[in-house]
Amino acid sequence: MLKDLLYTVNIKAVIGNTSITIDNLQTDSRKTTAGSCFIAIEGINVNGVAFISQAINNGSVAIVTEKLPVNLIENITYVVVEDAALAAGVMCNHFFNEPSKKIKIIGVTGTNGKTTIATLLWDLFSRMGHKCGLISTIQNKIGIEVLNSTHTTPDVISLNILLKSMLDKGCTHVFMECSSHAIHQQRISGIHFTAAVFSNITHDHLDYHKTFDEYIRVKKSWFDSLPTDSFAVSNADDKRGAIMLQNTKAKKHFYSLKTIADYKGKILENSLDGLHMSINDIDVHFKLIGEFNAYNLLAVYAVAILLGEDKFKVLQIMSVLSGAEGRFDSILSMHEKIVGIIDYAHTPDALINVLATIKNLRQGEQKIITVVGCGGNRDSAKRPLMAEVACQYSDKVIFTSDNPRNENPLQILKEMELGVNTISRKKSMTIADRREAIKTAVNLCQKKDILLIAGKGHEKFQEIEGVKYDFDDKKVLEEMFELLEK
């Protein structure tokens, strides 16, 4: 009944009968049918209140809204709430019989590392014999079944349907990315998290959050909402790592490479063959490369131990894990031995992490050639910063299109070029066509040079003027390597 779904929702007024049966919940009026309850959420571009009439015409018997429409329809129940988006999360949780309370859900947030941490956790726990769900930027999984992923975090209804399906198919653990957009839009409201992980926070998504302080506040609000029976894991080396957990009711735990923490790591050796680390005084060799991955591995280890797994078994399995697709993903040309690296780095900090790692690992006369762009309809303030970072850490740089979306790609590139100083201009060039840029970069490489193609990682498309075209950085690089060898 509707009244059961509204339990714990902050209700301001009710008009009509709440003792009615609800067949489904919808936040999209086009999907409403007979017996629907339509929740009118104010979105980024549209306000759901404007579509209440359409929802009723399609058969909705109840409307949940922050503001009543001017004309009320007889025999329709209207529930006025404080926050419709929050109400949607709570109601979905009740409607699907609280799946998140019957399965261990571990959320991961932060600017960088979310996908790698969530994917490593899924892989680790799957290899330890658990049936696991994964909700990530790259893909969603129920056990070994792969589902398409369109958002880092699905909408509130899709998320609950997915969690219910995972539970019904026997999953005991779910590892999911929690983006700042999802937190702010209440897409994860009503979900009971067993654990929450914070990786780091740097310059990103200011097109949406407007200020860096607001971006931090949104991330922190999730930790503030955690219940007392959950635990939170944070990066002590991030200057906001402690702030994130400042007001949480969850049990607090920290990981670190540089300071005292519950889960302390030390890099003993870092090479293109992997990381040799000490974690809580146990030496292990990992396949993953770079300091940024050392942090990801520490986060994974902390979560596994806090979930009750054996530390030796955990480290043994972690030592063979490869990480997520498109994250420091390397290939080697056959004869020239050029090292190609594909990485999703699309923020200044992520690009610094990847390039600093490459710079520390290069040997002898190896040059670093970087191909990088910036997405359209996204945070434009980071464009000159991305260009500046690329030039600072590379011997040669080619600026190119990423996903220009609805923006003029040449304008994006001009904004990137503002970050290039007089000295760096001599080692940089601009080629808007991404395929040509990669081809040119390969031709610029000498034997054993290192070529980084940054920004798109796992993506298999390029979005131009709202249309998605097939484009896979790794496949294009492999093609160019083949041409080079002929």
Interval 116-156: pLDDT, tens? 999 999 999 999 999 999 999 888 999 999 987 666 578 89
Alpha carbon distance, N-terminus to C-terminus of the chain: 69
Is pLDDT larger for residue 202 or for residue 448?
448
- Examine the fold and report which residue of 289, 318, 347 is the final residue of a domain before the chain moves on: 318
The answer on 168 and 88 residing in a single domain is: no
In this structure, is residue 323 part of a structural domain?
no
In this structure, is residue 324 part of a structural domain?
no
Note the Cα 332 to chain centre separation in Å: 28
The answer on 288 and 249 residing in a single domain is: yes
The answer on 388 and 296 residing in a single domain is: no
The answer on 453 and 392 residing in a single domain is: yes
Q: According to the model, what pLDDT value does residue 295 have?
A: 97
Angle (CA) 25 30 31, round 5°: 40
The answer on 194 and 84 residing in a single domain is: no
Q: According to the model, what pLDDT value does residue 209 have?
A: 43
Q: What is the CATH number of the domain that holds 388?
A: 3.90.190.20
The answer on 377 and 440 residing in a single domain is: yes
**What angle do the packed helices 409-417 and 383-393 form, to 10 degrees?**
60
205 — pLDDT class (breaks 50, 70, 90): very low
The answer on 347 and 304 residing in a single domain is: no
% of the chain residues with pLDDT over 70: 97
Q: According to the model, what pLDDT value does residue 286 have?
A: 96
In this structure, is residue 457 part of a structural domain?
yes
The answer on 63 and 177 residing in a single domain is: no
Q: According to the model, what pLDDT value does residue 6 have?
A: 97
Q: According to the model, what pLDDT value does residue 325 have?
A: 87
In this structure, is residue 408 part of a structural domain?
yes
In this structure, is residue 125 part of a structural domain?
yes
In this structure, is residue 403 part of a structural domain?
yes
CA distances from 24 to 31, 62, 78, 90, 296 (A): 10, 10, 16, 14, 39
- Examine the fold and report which residue of 318, 344, 359 is the final residue of a domain before the chain moves on: 318
CB 191 within 8 A of CB 361: no
335 — pLDDT class (breaks 50, 70, 90): confident
Among candidate residues 484, 391, 384, 374, the one with its CA nearest the CA of residue 438 = 484
Q: According to the model, what pLDDT value does residue 387 have?
A: 97
The Cα 298–Cα 107 span in angstroms is 16
65 — pLDDT class (breaks 50, 70, 90): very high
- Examine the fold and report which residue of 70, 95, 120 is the final residue of a domain before the chain moves on: 95
Positive or negative, the Cα torsion across 113, 115, 118, 121? Answer: negative
Is pLDDT larger for residue 234 or for residue 111?
234
Average confidence (pLDDT) over 38-56: 89
Q: What is the CATH number of the domain that holds 111?
A: 3.40.1190.10
Please count the structural domains in the chain. 3
The answer on 466 and 383 residing in a single domain is: yes
Q: According to the model, what pLDDT value does residue 44 have?
A: 65
Q: Can you give the pTM of this predicted structure?
A: 0.84
Q: Per-residue b/e over 333-345, b at no fewer than 16 CB within 10 Å?
A: beebebbbbbbbb
For residue 198, pLDDT over 80 is answered with: yes
The answer on 305 and 339 residing in a single domain is: no
Question: Which tokens belong to 444?
Answer: 């610029």
The answer on 172 and 156 residing in a single domain is: yes
For residue 466, pLDDT over 50 is answered with: yes
In this structure, is residue 57 part of a structural domain?
yes
The answer on 243 and 283 residing in a single domain is: yes
Q: How many helices and strands, by DSSP H and E, does the chain display?
A: 17, 24
In this structure, is residue 348 part of a structural domain?
yes
β-sheet bridge partners, residue 369: 396, 451
Q: What is the CATH number of the domain that holds 35?
A: 3.40.1390.10
- Per-residue pLDDT reduced to its tens digit, 405-427: 999 999 999 999 999 999 999 99
For residue 258, pLDDT over 50 is answered with: yes
Is pLDDT larger for residue 387 or for residue 180?
387
- Per-residue pLDDT reduced to its tens digit, 338-367: 999 999 999 998 899 999 999 988 988 999
Q: Locate the DSSP E strands across 162-219.
A: 173-177, 195-198
Give the domain range for residue 239: 99-318
